[in-house]
Amino acid sequence: MGIKNSEAAFLREYQKKVESKMKEKEISVIQYWKDRLGNLISMKPDGIASLQLEMKKLSDMMENRIKTLKKDL
């Protein structure tokens, strides 16, 4: 019975570590895209067209990243 309790404790601890790592990774990903968006916001575009172009570039980068991540699943 003690073995099962220690296994359960190990699994709970392992799950906490995995969840913590996942949260850290999510924070770093969100921070990266927030920084990219901040750069876009701070731009002084010549007009709407150049702003739209930069927004399209950012959107394309996000789409490419999503495709890359889906390949790894």
Global pTM reads 0.68
Largest CA distance in the chain: 71
Q: What is the mean pLDDT of the chain?
A: 88
Average pLDDT estimate for 36-40:
89
Is position 52 within any domain? yes
pLDDT at 62 over 60: yes
Is position 70 within any domain? yes
Q: Which helix (H) or strand (E) holds 22?
A: helix 2-42
Give the span between the Cα atoms of 61 and 48, in whole angstroms: 20
- According to the model, what pLDDT value does residue 14 have? 95
Is position 17 within any domain? no
CB 60 within 8 A of CB 38: no
Question: pLDDT-derived band of residue 43, with 50, 70 and 90 as boundaries?
Answer: confident
Q: Which helix (H) or strand (E) holds 54?
A: helix 48-71
- According to the model, what pLDDT value does residue 4 have? 84
How many domains, in total, are found in the chain?
Answer: 1
Is position 9 within any domain? no
- Parent domain of 39: 25-73
Is position 54 within any domain? yes
Q: Could you read off the pLDDT of 16-30 as tens digits, one per residue? A: 999 999 999 999 999
